[in-house]
Structure 1
Amino acid sequence: MVRDFRRGPLSQHGKVVVVTGASGGVGRATARAFAARGASVALLARGREGLAAAADEVQRAGGEALVVTVDMADAKAVDDAAQQVVDAFGHIDVWVNNAFAGVFAPFTEITPDEFRRVTEVTYLGYVFGTRAALHHMLPRDRGTVVQVGSALAYRGVPLQSAYCGAKHAIQGFNESLRCELLHSGSGVRTTMVQLPAVNTPQFEWVLNRMPGRARPVAPVFQPEVAARAIVHAASHGRRREYWVGGPTVATLIANAVAPGVLDRYLARTGFDSQQDQRDAGEYGGGPGNLWAPADGPHGRDFGAHGRFDDEAASGSPQDWVSRNRGRMGAGLAVAGGLGAVAAGLRRGAGRR
């Protein structure tokens, strides 16, 4: 039986949601998830093929879709995109920053222009998106900005220096902004969702200078796992951060406790674990989406999933615990109270 979220605690019925990077991957799955919960969804990205297909999925899920073609590195274009959303839907309730770009190579093999471009899309794209969202949310004194992060926002890995640097920057920027919103007593919230390795088409898009095809470090999760966490975060914006997946939790704890050990471990394993050697001899390089969308002008729709469906997990016990920790805490408190009562009764019986 399919659960109807429109009547549940995660209902987004009547809400207006903006998702950047919505043409594929996590953004695509997130747009579908919001639509299934009754939201009107504005889809922001560069790729026209992917955006058109994403809009069709949103409508089939029961939501209303608005397609806005935009490069998130262009601040003026992002402002204009936000205004288009308000003109069409009247306001913005949730803004999900998700768009990114990457280069898969050792740092010394990334050109200054490439590093700048990754930073402009992946970091400044979040800054520009957040500014555009706040411009419309602050006067209404309500709304939630969800920053889609990664375990790599805390822990850098080899071959992804530009991406890791941008994700670290987002972390610091978001913490600063959150403090400012709390200081002003604003009703606008910001939260961050730190993701594990996800089965998305990014590993076909990334500009890759390695001999093997880029791949996520196992274990890998389906984009729907990320989408569920993002929808939950949008509905519970007072919580500052969500860690999704056991590997994310393990990585962040290990990095906090023994970062030097993790440096050496990643130096030894990080190159091979991020390359798929099964078909390395036939690999000719992906289309790359650093300077232009991978699905246009004569490309194809890549969808939400990458090529790792055979190994990607569709659920995460840790994610369920994270999203339900309030109920679990109440349950543990009740269980503890019942245990204390039972112990008291036993002691009373012993005294008699």
Structure 2
Amino acid sequence: MAIKLKPLREQVLVVTGATSGNGLATAEAATARGAAVVAVARNQAALEALRERLSAKGARIAICVADVSDLAAVEAIVPVAVAAFGGFDTWVNNAGAGTYGTVEQVPVEDHRRVFDVNYFGVLHGSLVAARHLRTRGGGAIINVGSILSDRAIVQQGPYCATKHAVQALTDTLRMELEQEGAGISVTLIKPGAIDTPFPEHARNFMNAAPSLPPPLYAPEVVADAILFACAHPRRTLYAGGGGLLSSLLARAAPRLTDAIMDVAGTRLQQKPGDAGDPARRDNLYHPRADALRGSQTVRARSSSVALQIQKAGSPMLVVGMLGGGAALAVAARMLRARR
């Protein structure tokens, strides 16, 4: 069956992790463009506030409290969508959790929890979404991965491992649905560093406040990629040229990338004296205060030329543009780190 996706304004989207960062940006942008949204998160108060705020603007929104690591809770999202809007057309697996610290510092139970949310949460959502979308003749499943699907980074071992697993799961699901002729598009979004509360929400075992390495992009860049994939079948979309450059470099020169991590990987992920809002700290097992952006002092780009080129259908042009500057970028970063 050929994949035929509806225009965004005619769609109903399920968005997990909808009260913070990329999920919140996606819910806001989708409703602003006429789509209906079923917003899913653990934070009931934040969900109710989101529904009130967007409903006041005329948005079509329903909410569902769920921890995506719980399959029964994920399955319960479907009747909410059916009752509110008759079903859904796109499912966005966005919810995520993380830790900062070495593989040995992070307790095994925390490794498991990151996998429960980031991998099994995506698996649960994908299984539930595929089952429903078959009854509607197709639709889209969009998984939010990371550039760390391509390249691991120090101090985020469990998170990197889950994103590698999500990439494998996404690719396998896509092939199986294609083989079946289900008419379901499966897209992996790979954001770079995005200015969300992730560093504040992550459980931290380092001796300094965690942060994201530059360049950072606004969460609206990820929302742009997600909403494009809702209506246009794509295999992969990188959200942010900086992240794409890092992935290209890691593939072309893995040992050199290791050397950069040795020199600067930890330092680039620490922000001494700027831990952000303490009310957001450590949401690994329980929800904390949510927000669109992080509260640390950072600079974030509001758009991505690389993403716009991908949307235009020219991924090889992106590779050419960014690949040519990879060596210079690496050399400059190494020099800065050594100084």
TM-score (norm 1): 0.84
Query: Residue 189 of structure 1 aligns to a residue in which SS?
Result: strand
Whether the aligned pair in 2 keeps the contact of 1:20 and 1:27 (CA below 8 Å) is yes
Read off the aligned partner of 1:68 and give its amino acid letter.
C
Q: Determine whether 1:323 maps to 2:311.
A: yes
Whether the aligned pair in 1 keeps the contact of 2:219 and 2:292 (CA below 8 Å) is yes
For 2:302, the equivalent position in structure 1 comes to: 314
Q: 1:91-124 CA deviation, whole Å, 9 max, x = no partner?
A: 1101000001111111111111111011000110
For 2:252, the equivalent position in structure 1 comes to: 257
Question: What is the alpha-carbon distance in structure 1 between the residues aligned to residue 142 and residue 258 of structure 2?
Answer: 29
After TM superposition, the structure 1 stretch with the greater mean CA deviation from structure 2, 131-140 or 17-26, is 131-140
Partner residue of 2:268 out of 270, 273, 278: 273
For 2:146, the equivalent position in structure 1 comes to: 150
Read off the aligned partner of 1:135 and give its amino acid letter.
R
For 2:30, the equivalent position in structure 1 comes to: 34
Q: How far is 1:64 from its partner?
A: 0.9
Q: How far is 1:57 from its partner?
A: 4.0
Partner residue of 1:291 out of 259, 265, 285: 285
Q: How far is 1:68 from its partner?
A: 0.4
Q: 1:19-54 CA deviation, whole Å, 9 max, x = no partner?
A: 000011100000011101111100111012321232
Question: What is the alpha-carbon distance in structure 1 between the residues aligned to residue 50 and residue 208 of structure 2?
Answer: 30
Question: What is the alpha-carbon distance in structure 1 between the residues aligned to residue 123 and residue 189 of structure 2?
Answer: 16
Whether the aligned pair in 2 keeps the contact of 1:11 and 1:37 (CA below 8 Å) is no
Question: What is the alpha-carbon distance in structure 2 between the residues aligned to residue 201 and residue 83 of structure 1?
Answer: 30
Query: Residue 145 of structure 1 aligns to a residue in which SS?
Result: strand
Whether the aligned pair in 2 keeps the contact of 1:20 and 1:43 (CA below 8 Å) is yes
Question: What is the alpha-carbon distance in structure 2 between the residues aligned to residue 227 and residue 60 of structure 1?
Answer: 21
Question: CA 1:264–1:70 in 2, change beyond 3 Å: closer, same or farther?
Answer: same
Within 5 Å, give how 1:150-189 maps onto structure 2: 150-189=146-185
Question: CA 1:279–1:79 in 2, change beyond 3 Å: closer, same or farther?
Answer: closer
Partner residue of 1:236 out of 227, 232, 238: 232
TM-score (norm 2): 0.87
Q: Determine whether 1:68 maps to 2:64.
A: yes
Question: What is the alpha-carbon distance in structure 1 between the residues aligned to residue 279 and residue 39 of structure 2?
Answer: 28
Whether the aligned pair in 1 keeps the contact of 2:274 and 2:297 (CA below 8 Å) is no
Question: CA 1:189–1:89 in 2, change beyond 3 Å: closer, same or farther?
Answer: same
Question: CA 1:262–1:327 in 2, change beyond 3 Å: closer, same or farther?
Answer: closer
Question: What is the alpha-carbon distance in structure 2 between the residues aligned to residue 158 and residue 276 of structure 1?
Answer: 15
For 1:87, the equivalent position in structure 2 comes to: 83
Question: What is the alpha-carbon distance in structure 1 between the residues aligned to residue 254 and residue 49 of structure 2?
Answer: 42
Q: How far is 1:58 from its partner?
A: 3.2
Q: State the number of aligned residues.
A: 313
Task: Specify every segment of 5 or more residues in structure 1 that has no aligned partner in the other structure, as ranges.
Answer: 1-8, 296-301, 330-352
Q: How far is 1:78 from its partner?
A: 0.5
For 2:192, the equivalent position in structure 1 comes to: 196
Question: What is the alpha-carbon distance in structure 2 between the residues aligned to residue 108 and residue 327 of structure 1?
Answer: 38
Q: How far is 1:311 from its partner?
A: 0.6
Read off the aligned partner of 1:88 and give its amino acid letter.
A
Within 5 Å, give how 1:50-69 maps onto structure 2: 50-69=46-65
Query: Residue 107 of structure 1 aligns to a residue in which SS?
Result: coil
For 2:332, the equivalent position in structure 1 comes to: none
Q: How far is 1:56 from its partner?
A: 3.2
RMSD (Å) for aligned C-alpha atoms = 2.3
Read off the aligned partner of 2:312 and give its amino acid letter.
N
Q: How far is 1:165 from its partner?
A: 0.6
Whether the aligned pair in 1 keeps the contact of 2:279 and 2:288 (CA below 8 Å) is no
Question: CA 1:175–1:63 in 2, change beyond 3 Å: closer, same or farther?
Answer: same
Question: CA 1:141–1:201 in 2, change beyond 3 Å: closer, same or farther?
Answer: same
Q: 1:277-333 CA deviation, whole Å, 9 max, x = no partner?
A: 2447x99896311111013xxxxxx3211125651111111122111236999xxxx
Question: What is the alpha-carbon distance in structure 2 between the residues aligned to residue 220 and residue 58 of structure 1?
Answer: 27
Question: CA 1:279–1:306 in 2, change beyond 3 Å: closer, same or farther?
Answer: closer
Q: Which has the larger radius of gyration?
A: 1
Whether the aligned pair in 2 keeps the contact of 1:203 and 1:214 (CA below 8 Å) is yes
Q: 1:110-158 CA deviation, whole Å, 9 max, x = no partner?
A: 1111110110001100000111111110122211000111100111101
Task: Specify every segment of 5 or more residues in structure 2 that has no aligned partner in the other structure, as ranges.
Answer: 318-339
Percent of residue pairs identical:
33
